[in-house]
Amino acid sequence: MKPITEYQDYRKYMLDYFDWRKRTSAFSWREFSKQAGFASPSYLKLVCDGKSSLSHVGLVQVAAAMDLSSFELEYFKLMVDFTNAKEDDKKKEVFRKMKEIAVKQKAKVLNAEAFDYYESAVNSIVRELAPLMPGALPSVMAKKIKHGFTAQEIRDSLKLLVKLKILLAKGENEYAQTDKVISGSSESLALALRSMNRQMIDLAREAIDKIDPAERNISGVTVGVNADALKRITDVANTCRKQVVAIASECDNIDQVYRFNIQLFPLTEKV
């Protein structure tokens, strides 16, 4: 089966382990639970089905049943913490520790690049701004951004974008965009996207006071809908976003970086 560092959900890892054992022997959920020291023969199946969660005591028993030791044991413990965590800040803290273990083992971490890119709003800004300012120092670029990013944050972002091959370093402080697309699907990616969206919403809030109305368009409407109308509105919003991307891709002589937010969310419970 795949190396443990390519997993982020301990339930998925346990399920793949079970399937792997079952293909090579007469293995059952009863046997798995028994080896892990649980009285209920179906307990671990309930865990893998998401109907129960491993405790810190239980994870040690399961790890022993799967013969995990050394860094694999530590990574499994962190996976349990990551999957069970309710708060995004806690999840990010644990995921960084998972990445550290993988790096030490020179192992792949699924969607780690996407997490690094989307975790901070500054990366998408720098990706667009850097090619427009050949030769500019990070401190000069920071002054061009209308929100409070430091020169060090710009410097760190440039380093990351070059490492991820999103920007190509053509010379000293000179960059060009590549065609690389950052994508993936996992809880860590969703976590990073939530972080970036929160930051972008905060920047939009700042723009209400800091940016001249002639340079921005911030508006909204409150409406009553049903399920069918909600789907149609969501489709319109998605089409609008794609049209904005298409218009921007046809733009020559770019001289400014903008953010286009689309926000649709419920204000009430269903009546």
Each residue's pLDDT tens digit, 182-192: 766 678 888 88
* DSSP secondary structure code for residue 4 in this structure: G
All domains of the chain in start order, with CATH: 4-106 (1.10.260)
Reported confidence tier of residue 224, pLDDT bands at 50, 70, 90 = very high
CA 108 vs. chain centroid, Å, equals: 16
Which of 36, 104, 38, 29 is closest to 70 using CA atoms? 104
Euclidean distance between CA atoms 29 and 13, whole angstroms = 15
109-143 pLDDT, tens per residue? 767 778 888 889 999 999 999 999 999 999 999 99
Q: Give 67-109 pLDDT, tens digit per residue.
A: 998 999 999 999 999 999 999 999 999 999 998 998 888 887 7
Average pLDDT over residues 3-21: 94
Kind plus residue range of the DSSP H or E element containing 102: helix 88-104
165: which DSSP letter?
A: T
DSSP-assigned letter for residue 168: E
* pLDDT band at residue 158 under the 50/70/90 scheme: very high
pTM of the model: 0.75
CB 158 within 8 A of CB 175: yes
| pLDDT digits 0-9 by tens, 27-57 | 999 999 999 999 999 999 999 999 999 998 9
CA-wise closest residue to 184 among 119, 96, 89: 119
The pLDDT of residue 110 is 65
Using alpha carbons, select from 141, 133, 128 the residue that is nearest to residue 167: 128
Biggest alpha carbon–alpha carbon distance for the chain? 71
pLDDT of residue 185: 63
What is the reported pLDDT for 267? Answer: 87
Q: What is the pLDDT of residue 26?
A: 87
Cβ-Cβ contacts under 8 Å for 129 (sequence gap 6 or more): 141, 144, 145, 257
Sign for the pseudo-dihedral over CA of 21, 22, 26, 28: positive
The secondary element (H helix, E strand) that includes residue 171 is strand 167-171
Please provide the size of the chain in residues: 271
- Residue type (1 letter), 189: L
Percent of the chain at pLDDT exceeding 70: 98
Mean pLDDT taken over the chain:
91
Compute the average pLDDT of residues 159-181. Answer: 90
